[in-house]
A and B are shown apart, each in its own frame.
Chain A
Amino acid sequence: MNMPSEEMLRVNDITLSYRVGDIDMPVLNGVSFTVEPGELFTLLGPSGCGKTSTLRSVAGLETPTSGEITIGGETVYSSSRKVQLAPNRRRLAMVFQSYAIWPHMTVAENVAFPLRRMRVDPPDRRRRVDEALGMVGLAGEGQRSATLLSGGQQQRVALARALVSNPRMILLDEPLSNLDAKLREQMRGEIRDLQRRSGTTAVFVTHDQAEALAMSDRIAVMDKGNIVEMGNPETLYLRPRKKFTAQFLGQALILPIDGLEQGSGTLQLRTRIGVVEALADTRVKNVAWMAARPEHLTVAVPGAQIPGGIPARVVRAQFTGSTIDLELDAGGVLFAAVARNDRKFAPGDEVTVSFDPSNIILLES
């Protein structure tokens, strides 16, 4: 009765609401996506948009109101067929935001727990626990009490516990958000490597756009219980189609388009700060906004003129080492730009900004 299928996870039109007092608060309004085997798929969005709720629905810890979820072709939830498979029968692994390391067990006992539930015999179990601890860099630490570990180490134990059972899919809910900045960067790489090496499919939840961009094969951007846009990191960053995506992923100057003239393969966009030329993008219907990333703007040094450039005034200039971060004011519109570090800018300087037509992003209404 289960149809064989390519994808590891299919989430189909899931809705979910929580009962708060006497009212139902909708939290997910029809979320759909699929995840391919071996892929690292990220749910990215601002706090409260429903990422955790989505992940918990996949894990079976939350029962959606309607929709369907299949894992490896097996229906684990379906509102129409009244299926709700218990979490322990979904053969998944999950890394929780709080790590959920059991304080009454040693590191090894924590990691061995899923194997015990699978009734793996003791010698095999010990071998696999050692293997998993080795993978996360905790070899030989098995006998330590789990409560005496640092945040980063607990994180690793949680990962080892998730990987040890060779699950068909691993769910990670903001696993890095409790770590300090340096450790976070390091763990990003490690998680990515572990996931690649083991070939495990992963669904990753974060509200940190840099993390999402650095780690994911594909990203779904969520807002207010909906998936706004999905794609690989490059496309979503360089060619988003929704204003929300452009705003949420990185910085951008975003302007409403007042009028537009078709050229041959180009568009002339009339905006508050002047006319900007862009390459036509056939994917985008109903162009309503344009966006430009700070690193795609060219800012001429004070005094130098660029033909077709837009005049602006420097509000703030900050030397960061590798670049100079500028805040500019063009006709009352404030925006960010990045300049080379060998230039000199001071607040009040009159400069010209020019746009590269191939990097102008067109956004749908």
Chain B
Amino acid sequence: MSVFGAVLLIVVGWLVVLPLGAVLLGAFRPSGLLLDPGLTLDNVRRVYFNSEIWSLAWTTARFALGSTFVGLIVGALFAWMIERTDVPLAGFFRGAFIAQMAVPPFLLAMGWTILLSPRSGLLNAIGAQVFGPGFTPFNIYSITGMIFVEGIALAPSAFLLLGPAFRNLDPNMEEAARMSGAGSLEVFRKVTLPLLAPALLGATIFLTIVSFVVFDVPGILGMPSRIWVLSSRIYSLAHESPNGLPDYGAISAIAMMFILALLIAAYIYQKIIRGSSRYVTVTGKSFRHRRTALGAWRLPVALLGSVYLFVCICLPILMVVLASLQPFMMRPSAAALTNLSLQNYAQIFGDAHIVRAMVNSFVIAGVTSFGVLVIAFACSWAISRSQLPGIVRRILDVFTLIPLAIPGIILGTALIYLYLALGFLGIYGTIWIIVIAHTTNYLSFGVRSINSVLSQMHPELEEAALVAGSDRANAVRAIIVPLAAPALVATWFWVFSHSIRELTQALMLQSVGNATLTTTLFGYWSSGEPNKAAAVGISLFAVVLLAVLAWAAATLRFRK
């Protein structure tokens, strides 16, 4: 086996297998730390012979499935509207949905607390004013509230996953069914739905996995009223345990069950994706786009779409913008509006700590995105093109999929174990531990997205260069990289914009010297300075928005 293969196995093993092993084996150490002495079943017993774990699993499942359901419905409705109907301004809607990817979920959650917190929430306050003081129907600090906000946050991903399936739906198949006498509803049930089924199923599993492991929304909306899901519970075990020491043993034991469940889900997801992508390639190409004419419904549908975008996305962001311009939280009123100033911004940009955090965030996102690109490209090429032994390629394939199923919070914990134990490396407590966490986290996405590009590229393009006198490295450089360039750029932007707004792992791995914008924001928010948190959030949002727009531009160029 070549040096190349060995290096890849070591890198991927280091990033993925080592932390996974640290978590799983840590559960059997009294202290929960891999390299500490002793062997025990205490942690496992303590966690699993306790009803709390089952109520935790139940709440997590409800939250995950609920938000997936909401996200899927919204995403599918928009995908249908944009790709399959003659709704006016389809381009605008598509752009708006892609731009939503720039909205960090914690920003949405912050906006919604301003709107819907039980006492001070704007909508509740308005309700109380109109219908009397007892009328405060909305409570965002509830499981329903969490599902609602997470569902909105997931909708753009659902849209991106379902959009191509809706777009590639071959109208000939539907027309053929029509010709054989089926009615509209029957066509939908018997033809359209089965054709969409793989994409729908894939999106469902993907979103479920994501919402199973997400921390932002449960952290901001669930923790204040002690509604625990997996990620927030682990966070609290690490930060708020009674004796002041993180309960690593319990964390490991809890992590075991969830990792197992998620690995199974990820495996099923992979199977489905394999099947459905093959199926999209077979169709595609030469059919004209036929869209459903909405007739009299064109304007109402467009209006409905706009109302959703305004109320569910713009309004909360607007609230955060407003908060960022105020010295403290105020009800919107004429008086409040005269009090606006950029003072919060001036303060945060003048604060050396925050500037430092900003630099940290950029360095982390920059290095992570570049690292992911290089490692993912190498893995992807090794998996699909190289002459490495089949077993090596399969191992790489599986290893790079695993991070999808490791909750960021667990990966964060795992890295703490690992680099505390490997203290001599000097990585613990620096920004590099966050870089490692993010690289592992986004490796799955990187490999899948580059895989899909390489698989569309005929192997003979590369082989022609080999026969023409290039060695492997030169063939990759001269042929594959230029051809894949737009997709590589798009992947880079995606990872950059996700890394820079990532909260969970940055929070888990936080220490003195490695604060980021997101951990600073979370610090302000949880210590009762929401206006400063809002200013940080909006600055971050601006950066991510730029990155996402660049990503969209690169993706569009790549499609052509």
Contact = CB atoms under 8 A, between A and B. Distances in A.
Interface of A: 19, 59-61, 63, 86-88, 90-94, 96-98, 100, 102-104, 113-114, 117-118, 161, 165, 171
A88 B460 contact: no
B467 A59 contact: yes
Contacts of A103: 483
B390 A87 contact: no
29 contacts: A59-B467, A60-B466, A61-B463, A61-B467, A63-B387, A87-B467, A88-B466, A88-B468, A91-B469, A92-B467, A94-B464, A96-B460, A96-B464, A97-B460, A98-B458, A100-B461, A100-B464, A102-B464, A102-B465, A102-B479, A113-B465, A113-B478, A114-B469, A117-B468, A118-B469, A161-B464, A161-B468, A165-B468, A171-B467
Nearest to B387: A63
Contacts of A87: 463, 466-467
Nearest to B472: A86
Interface string B451-490: 0000000101101111111110010001100110000000
B469 A100 contact: no
Interface in B361-387: 387
Given A93-B467, A102-B465, A102-B479, 20 more contacts: A19-B390, A59-B463, A59-B467, A60-B466, A61-B466, A86-B466, A87-B463, A87-B466, A88-B467, A88-B469, A90-B467, A98-B458, A100-B458, A100-B460, A100-B461, A103-B483, A114-B469, A117-B474, A161-B464, A171-B467
A87 B468 CA distance: 8
Quick one: which of B460, B461, B468 has the most chain A CB within 10 A?
B468
Nearest to A92: B467
B471 A88 contact: yes
A113 B468 contact: yes
A41 to B, nearest CB: 18
Contacts of B458: 98, 100
A88 B467 CA distance: 5
A155 to B, nearest CB: 13
Quick one: which of B390, B463, B467 has the most chain A CB within 10 A?
B467
Quick one: which of B464, B478, B483 has the most chain A CB within 10 A?
B464
A103 B457 CA distance: 11
A100 B466 contact: no
A19 B391 CA distance: 11
Interface of B: 387, 390, 458, 460-461, 463-471, 474, 478-479, 482-483
A289 to B, nearest CB: 40
B463 A96 contact: yes
A97 B465 CA distance: 15
B467 A102 contact: no
Contact of A104 (B460, B467, B482): B482
Contacts of A88: 466-471
A88 B463 CA distance: 10
A104 B469 contact: no
Contacts of B483: 102-104
B414 to A, nearest CB: 33
Contacts of B464: 94, 96, 100, 102, 161
Given A98-B458, A102-B479, A117 B467 contact: no
Quick one: which of B390, B458, B466 has the most chain A CB within 10 A?
B466
Contacts of A113: 465, 468, 478
Contact of A165 (B390, B469, B471): B469
Contacts of A91: 469
Contacts of A98: 458, 460
Contacts of A92: 467
A246 B428 CA distance: 75
A19 B479 CA distance: 27
Contacts of A171: 467
A118 B468 CA distance: 9
A60 B475 CA distance: 15
Contacts of A102: 461, 464-465, 479, 483
Given A61-B463, A96-B464, A100-B464, A117 B469 contact: yes
A5 to B, nearest CB: 23
A167 to B, nearest CB: 9
**A-B pairs with the 6 shortest C-beta distances?**
A117-B469, A100-B464, A100-B460, A114-B468, A87-B466, A96-B460
A97 B470 CA distance: 20
B482 A94 contact: no
Nearest to B479: A102
Nearest to A90: B467
Nearest to B485: A104
B482 to A, nearest CB: 5
Nearest to A118: B469
B460 A86 contact: no
Contacts of A19: 390
Contacts of A59: 463, 467
A93 B468 CA distance: 6
A50 B468 CA distance: 23
A90 B468 CA distance: 9
B300 to A, nearest CB: 44
Nearest to B458: A98
A98 to B, nearest CB: 5
Nearest to A103: B483
A190 to B, nearest CB: 20
A117 B390 contact: no
A63 B387 CA distance: 10
A96 B460 CA distance: 7
B200 to A, nearest CB: 29
A262 to B, nearest CB: 54
A51 to B, nearest CB: 15
Quick one: which of A59, A60, A102 has the most chain B CB within 10 A?
A102
A119 B404 CA distance: 46
Contacts of B479: 102
A279 to B, nearest CB: 47
